[in-house]
Structure 1
């Protein structure tokens, strides 16, 4: 059984960026002081191999608890950013880029105002909504080339997550 760890920029750095309007964000007042811009929150990498940025909304349904991690995916040609829109926490399961290593999977509990940007090649589970159907703003790559690899785990390898 895996217990998720709290999501923080330091703990997640090996996998990409945490997207949040926290103390680490550069703040720029704009629009005559009526808006505060939290600037350049993630290292988006979507243009390689003639790619272009895509903006989508994913609507994710929670899985029954405890959650069994049965599949992982990666995007070798680009990063993939998720930002929650529904005000609910969610889980982030990741493993380092390279050959998939089940023993290196880490699971984070993301708060309702924390997004993630998976670095190119980082293994991750698809969005794991908790508590309710949740929507995520997603920025990733469109264009030529195969940009999604999946690993399906054998039932004996499934990782059980509960919190």
Structure 2
């Protein structure tokens, strides 16, 4: 179990922050639709609403779970080299996966809106489709670049 601790915590943080973003994206899409009928902008607003909640939640949760790794217990000093190294790895794994997520989310959200699906439903369905791809990619990339400290 200890061998997979980092992977489990990483995915837990992604899912918790993603759930918060999931609902904020649906809310953002629905509210935007009250003011405009532009379907592509609705899809982009939903994506930005998700990111505005998802990214800060994940960053805080990831840091809390890994705080012990970044502090020397004897001296109490931060290991800034390790922090920078992990941030670079996170940026690589997450940004590559997010690029696929964003394309899938916006495209499918727009398509659902074209078929007269309610904006909040389109946002939720497109998020689920994007998340399926995102979770696989981020875990494969994380393992490949040795993001997880086993």
* Greater relative contact order (Cα < 8 A, sep 6+): 1
Structure number with the higher strand fraction is: 1
TM-score by length of 2: 0.21
Q: Which has the larger share of helix?
A: 2
| Larger Cα-atom Rg | 2
